[in-house]
Structure 1
């Protein structure tokens, strides 16, 4: 397979999964905002920092304060074409990449990506409002899952499919850490310390739900949601497909089907060890954002090794 085609397949799957998880990320805030009493202050600004777009947001919107409202943040994360990690940018990028590899993927995938594009163009503005936002986000998630299902069910298990799997697993690991980061980054500010633990656990419940993990958490853990238990499940559970550990194991299973690249294996083993050795008790006692950032940095290095080894070498 040409390295250019492999690169496009890898990034196509990453952009589809990024679009899905961007919708899920906004869903964390939207669900929390609906569940919380009006007396509790909800802060949207940390979500922009979570996706690594804080400096870009400040440059584009210099008048915005740290207490920026949900309308500006949601528009920036979902529809802002100047934001390279927005929902719209991710779907548009996936669509453009698919143009160049249409011969490698079923026609139904092209149709499903076009449906997503049209959904954003026709209902995106309405979906920014609180009344219609949850429905809009659910439709986007369903559309992305349809693309993932078509890829899983209708694509031959050749080397191209392995690059699709590789991109999906790496992007999901990264986005899971970002959604964890968002849920733990002070979105909720209770007025007194007595309510802090209650609302903190509510945040973690929203994180689990946004990753479609709440029912599986209840099935595996069988305890009330807490920061420690949610972190352990989302970071280290080996059976839930969106956990960081599961995604890294999937990458580990894909690599033997490809030409060996020692640099890729080295970076992968480093991030696997970091995740396995994490202490959820310690992370829960402090803000886990620094640890999530560390995982993201190491996932970035793993991506660089993959790009160097398979696409640009």
Structure 2
């Protein structure tokens, strides 16, 4: 397969997943703000931290108000990680790679892209926002459904899988990183245990994991359980371990690369061997581990680019 085509499919998977995850974050955070007392300092700024866009946001906005953050994440084309930018990038890739994916993919992606273009500005307000983000989530899932049900499981599909799973693993670890850090930095003198549980429930819901968490663990929501489930569970599709296992399963279909194998094995080891109970006892235990995993994911991206994309000139 031409390296440019492989790279396009990889990034297409990442951009569609990014648009969906960003919509989920906005929706869940809005609900979280309704459940928490005003004194608990979470607000909307953590969403900028989760997406890793602090520098870009500060250049464009003076304050992390609800409206500013929502606009930045939903419809600001100057933010390369916004919903509109992610969908636009996916659409540009598909425009030049339409013969590698089912024809219905173009139609379904256009549906959600033009919906965002037409409704984005009017959906910043709370009254219309939930319907907007739900439509984005549904549209992204429909695009992925078309691909998984109609696309041949050839080399191109493996790169699509890799991109989707790297993006999801990255988002899962970012959410755990920021939410854990924010809870540990809270200086409120009140007993915040009930509110901490609400935050952990929001973490699960931002990854559509609440129902599966209760099914697997059969216990109340708590920090140790949530971190372990979202990091190490091998059956839940948005857990870091599941995503890394999925990436590893694509390797037999691709040209051999020891660098990629070593990077995946090292990152999987970080996740698999993590002592969750011990990490949760220290303020920076989980955030430090998440940083290490994110470095591993970045190294994996670099190894993939060096092995398969370098000839494309990107």
Specify if TM > 0.5.
Answer: yes
CA distance in 1, matches of 2:259, 2:227: 29
- Per the alignment, residue 279 of structure 2 pairs with 283
Deviations 1:119-157 (A, max 9, x none): 211111222112222221111111111011111000011
**Pair 1:175 & 2:171 matched:** yes
Whole-angstrom distance in 1 between the partners of 2:233 and 2:54: 30
Query: How far does residue 207 in structure 1 lie from its aligned partner after superposition?
Result: 0.9
Q: Structure 1 residues 189, 298: closer, same or farther in 2, change over 3 A?
A: closer
Aligned partners of 1:188 and 1:133: how far apart in 2? 30
Moved more, 153-162 or 279-288: 279-288
How far has the Cα of 1:18 moved from its partner? 0.8
SS at match of 2:120: helix
- Relative to structure 1, the CA distance from residue 106 to residue 20 in structure 2 (aligned partners, 3 Å threshold; closer, same or farther) is same
Task: Write the distance in 2 (CA, Å) between the matches of 1:132 and 1:284.
Answer: 38
The number of equivalent residue pairs is 309
Structure 2 equivalent of residue 210 of structure 1: 206
The match for 1:115 among 97, 111, 129 is 111
Query: Which is worse superposed, 295-304 or 26-35?
Result: 26-35
Q: Compared with structure 1, are the counterparts of its residues 203 and 94 closer, same or farther at alpha carbon in structure 2 (3 Å cutoff)?
A: same
* Displacement after TM superposition at 1:115 (Å): 0.9
Change (3 A) 1:127 1:180: farther
1:248 to 228, 233, 244: 244
Name which of structure 1's ranges 6-15 and 172-181 shifts more when overlaid on structure 2: 172-181
Instruction: Report the secondary structure of 2:152's partner residue.
Output: coil
Give the one of 98, 103, 127 matched to 1:102.
98
Structure 2: tracts of 5 or more residues without a match? none
CA contact (8 A) 1:12 1:164 kept: yes
- TM-score calculated relative to the size of structure 1: 0.93
Contact kept in structure 1, 2:27 and 2:133, CA below 8 Å: yes
1:192 and 1:267 map into 2 onto residues whose CA distance is 41
Query: What secondary structure is seen at the aligned counterpart in 2 of 1:264?
Result: helix
Counterparts of 1:166 and 1:37, CA distance in 2:
40
Which of 285, 293, 296 is the matching residue for 2:291? 293
Alpha-carbon distance between aligned partners in 1 of 2:19 and 2:178, rounded to the nearest angstrom: 16
Partners in 1 of 2:292 and 2:211 — Cα distance?
28
CA contact (8 A) 1:184 1:203 kept: no
| Structure 1 counterpart of 2:267 | 271
Check whether the contact 2:50–2:171 (CA below 8 A) recurs between aligned residues.
no
User: Runs of 5+ in structure 1 lacking a partner?
Assistant: none
Alignment match, 2:307: 309
SS at match of 2:305: helix
Aligned to 1:229: 225
Partner of 1:146: 142
How far does residue 22 in structure 1 lie from its aligned partner after superposition?
1.0
1:232 and 1:159 mapped to 2: Cα distance?
32
| Whole-angstrom distance in 2 between the partners of 1:23 and 1:156 | 29
8 Å contact from structure 1 (residues 205, 225) kept in 2: yes
Decide whether the 8 Å contact of 1:4 with 1:311 is kept in 2: yes
Answer with 269-278 or 22-31: which moved more.
Answer: 22-31
> How much has 1:273 moved relative to structure 2?
0.6
Alignment partners' CA distance in 1, 2:177 and 2:249 = 27
Query: 1:216 and 1:85, CA in 2 relative to 1: closer, same or farther beyond 3 A?
Result: same
